[in-house]
Homo-oligomer: A and B are copies of this chain.
Amino acid sequence: MTEKIEKRHKALREKLVEIAEQRIAADGMEAVKARDLAKTAECALGAIYNVFDDIREIILIVNGRTFQRLGDAVQHDLAGRENTSPTERLITIANAYLDFAVENTNLWRSLFDIPFSSDLNAPQWYWNELDRLFQYIAGPVNECCAQMSDTDRTLMTRALFSSVHGIVSFGIENRTTPVARDELERMIEQIIIGVSGNK
């Protein structure tokens, strides 16, 4: 492949990912359609398959970017709070997660609409982004659960992520019923204070 073609392919890849990201943000993962992408990117339908294996690969790349933005949001909210208690830091992370999901609902949903398994054969950078999120949680968990075994702390990190995700998911799916934002925050706080021993 000449350098020129490589450059053109790279530009098309970026364009298609941008369009797919807009579609997901507006109408969810289901709205990413090959014909629409080709039309909007002004390329032939077949050109998409020169630069991507399939539509799923494009969605996966958008999801990788979403994970990265989510990680950035958590990092941003933690900045300057390094000296707060582990419980406070866990609550900060969970609220950053809640904010992100509320503000980027369709992009956030798409992260979990693609099955989350090793079957997915996702590239390493994807798992790295996911791992980054877990590392943020693992920090305060290791401090407040110092007496636990390594295995238990790993499971606790995962359990907390799953729990907060469960609360946020139900909260967002239920948002037409009167589940107030402060109630969601209180539920998150109850779980985190409980498991962290309010340390």
Q: Are A166 and B162 in contact (CB under 8 A)?
A: yes
- The CA-CA distance from A120 to B29 in the complex, in Å, is 22
Among the listed B152, B176, B195, which residue makes an inter-chain contact with A186, where contact means beta carbons less than 8 Å apart?
B152
- The CA-CA distance from A103 to B87 in the complex, in Å, is 36
Q: Are B155 and A190 in contact (CB under 8 A)?
A: yes
Q: Is A194 part of the binding interface, using a Cβ–Cβ cutoff of 8 Å?
A: yes
Q: Are A167 and B174 in contact (CB under 8 A)?
A: no
Residue of B nearest to A187 (CB): B159
Q: Is A116 part of the binding interface, using a Cβ–Cβ cutoff of 8 Å?
A: yes
Q: Cβ of A17: which chain B residues have Cβ within 8 Å of it?
A: none
Majority secondary structure of chain A interface residues (helix, strand, loop or mixed): helix
Q: Return A162 CB to nearest CB of chain B, in Å.
A: 4
Copies of this chain present in the complex amount to: 2
Q: Return A156 CB to nearest CB of chain B, in Å.
A: 5
0/1 per residue, A168-199, Cβ < 8 Å to B? Answer: 01110111110000010011101100111100
- The CA-CA distance from A176 to B164 in the complex, in Å, is 23
Q: Is A158 part of the binding interface, using a Cβ–Cβ cutoff of 8 Å?
A: yes
Q: How large is the interface on A (under 10, 10 to 19, 20 to 34, 35 or more residues)?
A: 35 or more
Q: Is A165 part of the binding interface, using a Cβ–Cβ cutoff of 8 Å?
A: yes
Q: Is A75 part of the binding interface, using a Cβ–Cβ cutoff of 8 Å?
A: no
Q: Return A56 CB to nearest CB of chain B, in Å.
A: 16
| 30 A–B contacts, CB within 8 A, in A order | A115-B173, A117-B173, A117-B174, A117-B176, A117-B177, A118-B176, A118-B177, A152-B186, A152-B190, A155-B183, A155-B187, A158-B187, A160-B191, A162-B163, A162-B167, A162-B169, A162-B171, A162-B187, A163-B163, A163-B167, A163-B191, A164-B166, A165-B166, A165-B170, A166-B169, A191-B191, A191-B194, A191-B195, A194-B197, A195-B195
